[in-house]
Each structure stands twice: as structure tokens, then as C-alpha cells.
Amino acid sequence: MSAIPVDLALRIIRRRADAAGVELILPGDPRRDAIVSLVALGHSVQGTGVTRAHVAEGVTVTLPGVPGPAAVLLAAIPYVGGALAALAQAAGRTSVCLSPAALATGEGALATWWHEEGHCGSIARGGLIYCGAYLLAPEVRAGGEAPCYGNGMAVRVATGSDVDDAARQALASLESYGLDDDARALARGIVASAAETIRATGDHGGVVAELRAELAAEGWVL
Amino acid sequence: MQHALDLARPYAPLILALVVWPIVGAALSWWLWWDTPEHWEAYAKAHPGRALAIRALRTVSPHLRKLVVAWRDYAAARSSLPPLGVALPAEKTGAIVVSETRPVAHPTPADGVAFDAQRVALGAVTVDPAKGDGQRGSVDLPGLLTCLIAAILAGALLAGCPVVREVAMRAAPGVPDPVDCRPGVQRCDGLAPVVCSASGREWPSLPRSASGEPRTCAPGVCVVSDGGVAHCALAADGGGL
């Protein structure tokens, strides 16, 4: 199976972002600098050991759109407030900010995109209140992240990865979300379910069918 | 704990209104404080929308900084003035502090004699309106640090408190309601595999689509394996629901 070109993957991602009404932020965009600063600050405050360099290179973030008054308050945050407010005022739309690492390969970019689509769906359903619960409760992070990692696993398997390897990588990545034992057990259960679904169907709730259709529209067959 | 949560549930709006909002509102009000009336007026002129939002926030939030300023002025008046001179200067100091919240009430350098005379009359205990004393600061460092520390403490308090977590989860659309399930057990909820969490919520293992619709196993089915793992399967595989 030949590698999917990154530019082809990006065309698919842009198309799907437009269709979903999602603002796409790519590396090099000044708004990403503001997001990286904010995420790095969060890690620093929590003492997770994750460095700013790691965040800048490897962390993809999905942020909710923010209503007007909240964006006004965001603008008052020193250093990064202006950029955050500009980001938040992007028509109040959810934003997906892709990392350089996510765009290293076409397969990786697509896996990351479908992962983030899951978050876009959660935000579309739950809005800012859901995001608040996500920040407060490890269980919400586990229940929100693990199914999205299932999406990424499905794309990786469809593009040539082994399902067990993909599951192991997903579980390793889930360790960086500050989960407690109960939340970790929930995440493991969801990843196990996702792995079984991918083994049994080659899909994950229609994600791979969407991937194949998008690639076919670009003249690419898996 | 569950019983306590059930008892507290009807009061969730009150908890949010009387505990969470005052903490957040007070922190923001403290932070959004301009040093001088001139700074504030310039900011309000440049950003009328933001100024409106900040005024609205101050209106509905505890304003601890005013309390601190009032206490400091009170302490200064009691400790540094001769007994017979206290009454008048202290009143004037207070009057200036109050007047600073009303842009048209205090003299400016352009008013010349009146402005200078007022400063001289008040002497050492007078607060210089031009330099300010914490009134309406342009996001000064101590205020910012205080706000950050308060926010971190409030965040840690909120995140570490099971009741707050539970209230947040119950308030959030898209977070499943607690049901009578055993943690770790998986089952099929129609066409969706679900996993029971420690708090008794059944979380779907399939995420939502970008539009927010839940994904399902369709056109396949949901089955539970012998190992107890709920998952999607092709329709021809059958399997027990």
C-alpha cells in the first residue's frame, strides 16, 4: 500500500472541515502560537512534565467557539489574549488546530482528523458546558477521548497498521490526559470495544466508509 | 456519596450561583481593574463593547478590591493622622476614592488651581488620583498574580471535589446520566456498544459524527463477545444483543 500524500490528506481535511463548519488552523498560523502557549501553561500549572516544545510539535487541539462576551474576557488575558479572542471570534465556530506532527504523513493526518471530528461532535452536542466538564472530570476525558482514539485506530488500520499496535498506541496516548484509575479503566474498556469493532467490521461506526469515499473523490483507492 | 449527591442535586443552580460564580466573578473583577480613571476612560473609548461587558461583569460580581481599598484607606486614616486632623482629611480621602468611580466628579490637571489645592490640602494622606492606588489599574502584576493564584486554587478545588465533578457532569449535555450498571460491564444499547463507568454511566464506545449525531453499528449489529466486550459486527455475523 503506497503512502497517502500529505497534500491529498489536507484537501480531504479542508473539505470535511468546511462541510462541518469547523475552523481549521494549520501550523504556522499565529493563532496556533496562542493555543500552544495556553496548553503549555496548563501543563506547567499541572506539573505534567510536558514541555512547550512537545506541545508545539505534537499536540493537536480542538477548541469550542466562544460567544461574544466570553471572547471579550479572553481578550484581556495577557500576552495570548488577543490571539485567543481572534480565535474565539472566528464566527463562534469550533476550531481544530493541527500540529506539525499530525501532518508528518498523510495517514497520520487523516487519523488525527477523524479523531478530532469526534471532539467536534461532542462540542456540537454539549457546547461549552461539556468542555467545562471535560476539564473538571477525568471520567469525561476518558469517555470523550477513548472513542475518538477509536476513530484514529480505524483510519490507521484501514491504511495499513496493525489493530493491536494501534490499540497500544491509543492506550499509551491516553495516559497523558490526567486520568485516574476509574477513568483509565473506562478508557481501556472503550479502546477494547473499538479494537473488536475494527477487527469484526473493518470500520468504526462508518469512519472507514467515509475515509474510502473521500479518498475515492481524490482518485485514491485504499 | 450518591445519596449526598441526590440531596444536593436540586440545589445545583444555587451552588453554581452562590459559590462558583462569586469566586469566578470576584477573580475576574479583581483582575479587570484599571489604575487611573484616565486609563479606564481611554480603554472604554477605544473598546466600548469590552467596557460594557466589564461594567456588566462588575455589576453582577463581588468587588473585593473596593473592599480592600476601603479597608486600607480606613487603616491609613486611623494610623497616620493626628487626632484632631483626622475627620476632615479622612473624609476627603474617602470622597476622592469614591469620586474616582465617577469620571466627571474629580478635578483634573486641566482644572489647575482646584486640582493642586486639593492635593496640598490633603497632604500626606491624600491619594493622588493621577497615580492611583489600585483603583482601576491596567491589569497590574500583583492583581494579575492574585487572580492567577485564585483561579488556580479555585480550579484545583473544583477539579478535586467529587461533588463539583458530579454536578458538572450532570449539567453537561452529551454526558450520559447515571444508570444502574456495574462498572466495567459492557453491553449493547440498541446499535451502540456502551461501557459502564465507575460512576454508573454508560459511555458509548463509538464517538459522535462531526455534526454531533451519535455513530452506531448500522448497517451492522452490536454484539457482546464471550469475553464481555461489546462491539459492532457485520449483520451476517449475528450474535446476541
- pLDDT tens digits, A9-19: 999 999 999 99
Burial B21-30 (b: 16+ CB within 10 A, else e): eebbbbbbbb
Asked if residues A70 and A37 have their Cβ atoms less than 8 Å apart, the reply is no
Residues B234, A204: C-beta atoms closer than 8 Å: no
Angstrom CA distances, B200 to A139, B206, B214, stand at 11, 18, 20
Cβ contact, residue pair B165, A137, below 8 Å: yes
Band of residue A141 on the pLDDT scale cut at 50, 70, 90:
very high
Q: Nearest CB to B211: which of A20, A78, A190?
A: A20
Cβ distance of B159 and A135 shorter than 8 Å: yes
Inspect the interface and report whether the beta carbons of B197 and A20 lie closer than 8 Å: no
Long-range contacts formed by B46-50: CB under 8 A, 24+ apart: B49/A72, B50/A72, B50/A75, B50/A76
Best mutation site among B136, B158, B206, B211 for testing chain A: the one with the most A CBs within 10 Å?
Answer: B206
Q: What is the pTM of this model?
A: 0.67
Q: Which of A76, A124, A205 is facing B139, going by the closest CB pair?
A: A76
Question: Which strands, in side-by-side order, build the sheet including B202-204?
Answer: B186-189, B192-196, B202-204
Q: Is B28 on the interface with A (CB under 8 A)?
A: yes
Are B137 and B33 in contact, with CB atoms under 8 Å apart? yes
Supply the mean pLDDT for chain B.
71
* Predicted pLDDT of residue B157: 60
Asked if residues A146 and A89 have their Cβ atoms less than 8 Å apart, the reply is no
B32, A126: Cβ pair inside 8 Å? Answer: no
DSSP code of residue B138: S
Domain boundaries, chain B: 186-237
Q: pLDDT tens, A86-135?
A: 666 555 789 999 999 999 999 999 999 999 999 999 999 998 899 889 98
Listed by start position, the domains of chain A span 1-104, 137-222
Q: What is the pLDDT of residues A37-71, one digit of tens each?
A: 878 877 776 677 788 899 999 999 998 887 665 56
Smallest Cα distance from A119 to chain B, Å: 7
Of A57, A124, A68, A69, nearest in space to A94 by CA? A124
Q: Inter-chain contact B50–A197, Cβ cutoff 8 Å?
A: no
Say if strands A61-63 and A95-97 run parallel, antiparallel, or are unpaired: antiparallel
Question: Can you tell me the distance from the alpha carbon of B93 to that of A164, in angstroms, rounded to the nearest whole number?
Answer: 73
Cα–Cα distance measured from residue B188 to residue A65, given in angstroms and rounded to the nearest whole number: 33
The pLDDT assigned to B56 comes to: 79
Give yes or no for residue A144 having a pLDDT over 60.
yes
User: In whole angstroms, what is the distance from residue B158 CA to residue B11 CA?
Assistant: 17
User: Smallest Cβ distance to A190: which of B195, B198, B237?
Assistant: B195
Give the three cell numbers for residue B129.
Answer: 488620583
pLDDT of amino acid B38: 81
Q: What is the ipTM of this complex?
A: 0.90
Provide, as residue numbers in chain B, all residues whose Cβ is less than 8 Å from the Cβ of A151: 207
Q: Which of A191, A201, A203, A204 is nearest to A164 (CA)?
A: A191
pLDDT at A68 (0 to 100)? 60
User: Using the 8-state DSSP alphabet, how is residue B16 labeled?
Assistant: I
